[in-house]
Structures are given as structure tokens and as C-alpha cells.
A and B are shown apart, each in its own frame.
Chain A
């Protein structure tokens, strides 16, 4: 197929960080009016490539051409000027400003005394009509939903005459319905002549939305193809570089109730309840999944079970024992293992060693300290054993934790948590940002723990993960939980409706046919 002048052409881009080659002679073309998916695991070089395109990094070799013109290296301004717009995964909006103010921010001359809002409003309205992106210009961004905020980000890019739009993991924070809507919008933009690149690691999105896809692995392009000439399995293999490791859940027998929450209420800063009379019951041997769009109380539920939060009302009981005033050390003593969402900030102390991080919950035990003196021999032996058992790739117990990869950090936290043989395990977004191999490792360990008789409470925004790993799913919306359902009894669309608060009864949700979900759960049917 002949394209006269591609909208964007990256030739032979190479970028090294020390000995690491983040981008290895990557060449890429984006045609006018094309939707390209850039696919790859974490660390494959997607972000580096986009940073080079955007002028944040200077490549060691290669060049960037936009509309046939070579862009000077390392100049974000040139990239913007040439019409490249970016929507980051974490939005860059002023929360207490209106939509209109956010959109014109940075486009007005600095020294002008008056803002020409009337013209700006007119242009914005035209854009919204043209592309079907409806937002109230005078609404405060703070009051918008995540999907609406994303629309504002896209409008912000369009307002700056963007013709090449790059979106970094755009669906990470969206419900399935919002994702569908986003891709409809993007399709409309592409039809009007824009060129779009979206970065993702969700294969289904690539298949449903893109025209063409490029798979990166270890900084190299391993596959570039038209989407209709490939399939999910090929893409997955290209991304992982071999067979895709998958942990298969075989549910066992559930036992007694290990964790019970009854009428838990936690008040937020603005008087709105973050947890609103929440009930939950977790049994031995089961993996209970909590789905939901982030910000619906999952953080508070996790904090509660981690012992960081005392509820305003309601009771929590672990193993039948009431816990009126939870503390982190108290929950650990009760046999609760806790894997937090934020690995680097909360889970680990980055500037301390692997050995010290493995010690941080147990250093006061008699085995590891006597009369206030640490027993380094025992700490080291334990660290070595856990590093081996949990396959933490690091130079040794004395290695600085900050230098580990995300997957190894998570293994380290799992090692610390699971070595205590906890009866209740809380895991919050355990595979966020992990590559497929590390994610499978985490899933296997959680399943092993459940087989051993532990109850696992898995909070996740990743529906694939919930469908794959859990025995029951409850959806969290505005501080409440839906009735539990088995994963094989629902599909993603039904969950999506509950995630957007349209129904709290999953079994009765009648979904419109949308994202096809390969929910194969024949083995679950036999469960009692």
C-alpha cells in the first residue's frame, strides 16, 4: 500500500541508558488517518520511544520526521508545534479549575491582561460538536468522572491543533463501557483525518480498535502488522516472546469464615462516606475479587484490613476475633498478610536493603532480635532462603531495594507476607505494572496460599485478572459492595454496568452485547 507522506516516521531510533538498550533501532510509520496500537510489556521501550518522539529524550541514533519534516532532537516545543499531542495515563489537569480554563491554560500569551474567553469558548464548542466530545465548559474538573477528564485531555490536545494524538494506557482507569466510548471517539477522530497512537498491553483493545499494531519487546520491534491479519494468540506470543504463562485457578473447598466486615463506615473529608455500611465475608480457601473503578472505596477497604484505618462505625473480625482498633502490627499478629497497592512508597523502603525489607515485619520476634540487638545471622539466613524460594532476582540480601525491577519488588513483598503463613491475605492491584511472567508468578502464589487454606481478598481494576484468578467477584461502587457472583456467571459488560453504578445486582444485569469475553470456566460449574 502506497502512502505518499506518512504523518509520522521514526527511523532507526536507538536509545541507551548505560548498558541498557531501551530502544534498539526502532523504525515506525504512522499514516494519515490511521489508528496504531503500540503494544508491549513493561520495560519493552514504549514509554522511552514516546518520550523521544515528544522531545523529552534525545535519541543516540535515528531521527523523527513529522509530515516529512525532520524534527530537531530534544525539543518538546518543536514536537508540539508540529502537531503532536499526548494524553498521559495520569491526567495533567488543574482540579480546581474549570474545563475551559484547563483547556486554554498555556495557550494564552503570558503577559496579556485579559483572557479572551469568548473566542476560546467558541472554538471549544465547535471542537466538541465536530468530534462528539461533550463536556460542560464551566464544570470544575474536580467534579468530573475519570472518563470525562480524559475527554478534557483529548479536547486540550485538539485545541492545540494536534493532528497526531498519542494516548498512554488510555483505558487503565476506565470501565469497559467508558473504554468502548473512548474508542468510538478515537475512531471518529481518525475518520476526520487525525492519526492516533495508543499504548496498551490489553490485547483485546488492539484487536477491536486498531488498524495496525506494532509489538515491542526488549526495545526492538518484534511484530508490525495490520490488525485484521493477526490474532490475539500471535500478539501475545510476540509480546512475551514465547508461550504465555498462565495460572489456572482450580477452586477447592471453602472453610470457615476468616474475615468479616459488618456495616463498616468510613467518612471522607467532604462528609461523603468513603465506605458506606460495607459488609464482607471471606472464607478459608477462597479468592474473593473486588472489582471497581478506582476511587470507589477500594483504598479505604485496603487500609482498613491493613490496619491503617479505624472505621467510624461497623465491626471487623479476623478469625472470629473482633478488632475494634486495628493497627498494622496488630493485623500482622492476627495473621493478616498485606500486599499494598503502592509497592515503592508503602510496601518497601527503597533505600534499605532487601534483607532489611524482609525483616520489617518480624525484626522484633525472638528469632531475630534479643534485648534490642538484631540477630544478623538469622536475618541473613532468612533473607537468603526467601530470595531463593520466591525467585527474587537481586545481587544478594544486601542489595538496595530501589534498584529492583517492579516484578522483583512484588516478589519481595510476597516473600515477606507469605513467609508469615497468613490466614487472611489482602492484595491490592498485585500485578499492576508487572510483565506477564511476574504476574503469573504472583497469581500462582496466591492460588497456592488459597489451597493451603488462606482466604485471599484481591482488589483489582484488571478484569482479566479477576476473571482468571478469583472464585467470587464483588463490585465496589461508592463505598458499597454488590452481591457476590461467580466469574463464570457474569461477563465483562455486566461487571461494567455495576462498576458505573447502574445496578448493584450483577445477576440481574442485562448487558448489551459489547466486548466479547472468552470466559471459559467449565471447571467452575462443578462447584457447589
Chain B
């Protein structure tokens, strides 16, 4: 067996490959469901019903998709420039910390001023957190995978110290959490009696904005060029390092927005379980979307559907909800393989 590259990859094939891949991932998970003694058809039905089957279910899914869109965009933008930002989790918390610092009493402005300010400063915090590893990369060629990944733990421990120490809310009955944000800093509900907040719309706007930036602007052109070939970009006179630094601020900023949105829209106060690893899931979301900013919305929805749906499925059928993680992971692996394979044809001999 050998692989030969295809000269032309048709659009149909490009679309077919990930669809088939997700089908295969579902097939694999069906085996696991059968193994745990349930009917896969019933299980998948429950999963869809639990995530999309009612207004409540749908709003829960969209609420879950919101941070994933932000962190997915953060990864997609950075990866386009071959800046391997694995630090989305830390940048998310940096944004949340900034919003907590400013939003729990330090500032009290009208909401129309307060919320944009919190998003901007939260984005700045996330961006600045990524700036350090990025400058180390551009100036000293330090591998940013290592530095951004390890920064996550530093930031988490820092948040740990904050919520157990100086920021601990005395009104929280001893729970390690910071004080709630002031009323003007709360992102309102989009639909009454649901948890879906306006952060979702901001996330969608960011996706469109990121797409437009990459597609129509000189900055986007520079980011794509540097991602494809730093050497050729430098030769052509494109400011390579400036483009990478801008990418870092944008990527870290988007991850920071995820933290602000979760804090101001959903939780209301800073805790250590603000994010169950949205920063890392963002990488999966971005890869599933082939780094396309609009695709990120779709793949964030996919991941949200699977994880929200799996909760209700597992309650009804007594299957572990880890099936959601398995489904997402196998889908990612299958999509990555399918993207590779769609560029080659397999020759048997």
C-alpha cells in the first residue's frame, strides 16, 4: 500500500471527508454504547433530544458553545500564523481575573460602558499573557508550545491563590470564590428563564470579525503569509515579527473574551471551575473547523451538542457521560486523518 498525492482535491471530496469521519467516530462510539448495554439508536436519539430537542436544551447548547467559539477562534487565528498557542485556558482565566478586578466594585459605570470596557480589558489581559511567550519565540526562538502550556498552570495556581486569599468573598460561606460582579457588569439573558446570555451574540460577531480580518485586510494577509512561509514573507518585506505579535494579541484577546463572557454572562463570580478546560477544547474546535473562523462556529456547536446531549443521555440510559469526550476525541482524530487522506489517494498493490 502506498500514498500518492492527488493533483486536485475536489470540493465535494473536501466536504465528504469530514462528514464520513464524523460518521465513523459515531460508529465507533456506538460500539461502546452497545458494550455498556444500551441501544445506540436510542442513545443517539436521546443525545440529540437532550441537546437540540427543546428550547431549554437548545439554549443550554448555545450557552456551552459560547466559550468554545471564543477559544476556538483564539486557536484558529494563532494556528493560521503557525503560532502554537496552547495557552487558551490561562488566557481565559486572565480575562476573567481582569473582569473580576474591575467588575466587582472597583469601577461602577453604566452597563453600556461597563461591558465593552470589561471585554476590552479582558481581551488585553489575555493578549498580554500570550505576548510574553510570543516575544520569547520571536526574539530567542523559545518554543511557544512549552511556554504557553506551562503558563496555564501558573495562571490557574494564581487564580487559586486569589480565590482562597485576597479575593475570597466573605459572603460565600467559605467557598473559594471571588465576590460577584456588580449589576452593571452582568451580561443579560437573551431569552428569559434560560442561561443563554448575550455573550453568544458577541462570540458570533467575533467569528465574523475574525473571518473578515483574515480575508479582507492587510493584517490578515500578513498573518496568513507568515503562517504559510515565514522565510518567503520576510523576503517579500512583510513585517514577520509584527504580524506574529499582532496575532498573539488577537488570539490571547479572543481567549480572554471567553473568560469575560463566562464570568459576566454565566457564573457571575470567579471560581476555579469557571472553565472545565474550554481553552484546550478550543484547540479541538479549531482543528475540527480546519482553522476557518466561520467553521469554528459550526464545530463549537458540534462539540456543545455532543457534550450537552451526552449529559441527558447518560442520565436516561445510565451510560457514563465520558462518552461525550470519547465522541469528540474520536471525531477529531477521524477528521484529522480524513483531511490528510483526502489529499492523497491510496494505491494497493
Measured in the bound complex, the distance between the Cα atoms of B7 and A298 in whole Å is 36
Is B233 a contact of A349 with CB atoms below 8 Å?
yes
Does A359 lie within 8 Å of B232, measured CB to CB? no
Give which listed residue, A327, A348, A352, A363, contacts B218 with CB less than 8 A: A363
Known: A18-B7, A352-B224. A347 touches B235 (CB 8 A): yes
- Measuring CB to CB, which residues of chain B are less than 8 angstroms from any residue of chain A? 4, 6-7, 216-219, 221, 224-225, 228-229, 231-239, 349
5 interchain residue pairs of minimum CB distance: A329-B237, A360-B236, A328-B237, A351-B228, A349-B229
Asked if A364 CB lies within 8 Å of chain B CBs, one says: yes
Closest CB-CB distance, B41 to chain A, in whole Å?
42
Partner of B221, one of A58, A74, A338, A356: A356
How far apart are the CA atoms of A373 and B215 in the complex, in Å?
9
16 intermolecular pairs with C-beta atoms under 8 Å apart: A18-B7, A306-B235, A308-B234, A328-B235, A328-B237, A329-B237, A329-B239, A340-B235, A347-B232, A347-B235, A349-B228, A350-B228, A351-B228, A356-B225, A361-B237, A403-B7
Most buried by A among B6, B7, B229, B235: B235
Which of B218, B229, B235 meets A374, CB within 8 Å? B218
Q: Roughly how many angstroms separate A75 CA and B215 CA in the complex, as a whole number?
A: 47
A372 to chain B, nearest CB (A): 5
Query: Contact: A360 with B238, CB < 8 Å?
Result: yes
Contact of A360 among B7, B231, B233 (CB under 8 A): B233
CA distance A519 to B221 in the complex (A): 48
A376–B216 Cα distance when bound, in Å, is 8
- Which chain A residues lie closer than 8 Å to B229 at the CB level? 345, 349-351
User: What is the count of residue pairs linking A and B with beta-carbon distances less than 8 angstroms?
Assistant: 70
- The distance in angstroms between the C-alpha atoms of A123 and B237, with both chains bound, is 54
Q: Check if B231 sits within 8 Å of A363, measured CB to CB.
A: no
* Nearest CB on A from B213, distance (A): 9
What chain A residues lie within 8 Å of B231 (beta carbons)? 345-346
Given contacts A340-B235, A360-B238, contact A349 B225 (CB under 8 A): yes
Nearest chain-B residue to A307 (Cβ)? B237
Verify B225–A364 contact, CB threshold 8 A. no
- From A18, A74, A359, A373, B217 is in contact (CB under 8 Å) with A373
A374 touches B221 (CB 8 A): yes
Please, how many angstroms separate the alpha-carbon atoms of A58 and B239 in the complex?
46
CB pair A348 B232 closer than 8 Å = yes
Q: Is A148 an interface residue (CB 8 A)?
A: no
The yes or no answer to A332 lying at the interface (CB within 8 A) is: yes
Query: Which residue of chain B is the closest to A19 with respect to CB atoms?
Result: B7
Q: How far is the CB of B10 from chain A (nearest CB, A)?
A: 14
> Given contacts A345-B229, A351-B228, A356-B221, is CB(A361)–CB(B236) below 8 Å?
yes
Let me know if A352 and B236 touch, CB within 8 A.
no
Q: Given the complex of chains A and B, what is the CA–CA distance between A456 and B216 in angstroms?
A: 36
Chain B residue at minimum C-beta to C-beta distance from A20 = B7
Give residues of chain A (348-395) contacting chain B, Cβ–Cβ below 8 Å. Answer: 348-352, 356, 359-361, 363-364, 369, 372-374, 376
**Smallest CB gap from A342: residue in B:** B231
Contact partners of A18 in chain B: CB under 8 A = 6-7
Q: What's the Cα separation between A347 and B231 when bound, in Å?
A: 9
Contact with B along A279-314 (1 / 0, CB 8 A): 000000000000000000000000000111000000
* Shortest beta-carbon distance from B271 to chain A in Å: 40
| Of B219, B234, B349, most A-chain CB atoms within 10 Å | B234
Q: Chain B residues near A74 (CB, 8 Å)?
A: 349
* Given known contacts A327-B237, A328-B236, A329-B237, A360 and B225 CB-to-CB distance under 8 angstroms: yes
Residues on the A chain within 8 Å of B234, using CB: 308, 328
Q: Chain A contacts of B225 at CB under 8 A?
A: 349, 352, 356, 360
A18, A74, A376: residue with the most chain B Cβ atoms closer than 10 Å: A18
A351 to chain B: which residues have CB within 8 Å? 228-229
Residue of B nearest to A403 (CB): B7
Q: A373, B235: Cβ atoms under 8 Å?
A: no
Residues of B near A328 (CB, < 8 A) are: 234-237
Q: Report the separation of the CA atoms of residues A331 and B231 in the bound assembly, to the nearest whole angstrom.
A: 17
Closest Cβ of chain A to B215, distance in Å, is 9
Given contacts A328-B237, A329-B237, A352-B224, contact A374 B217 (CB under 8 A): yes
Closest approach, in angstroms, between the C-beta of A351 and any C-beta of chain B?
4
In the complex, the chain A residue whose C-beta lies closest to that of B215 is A374
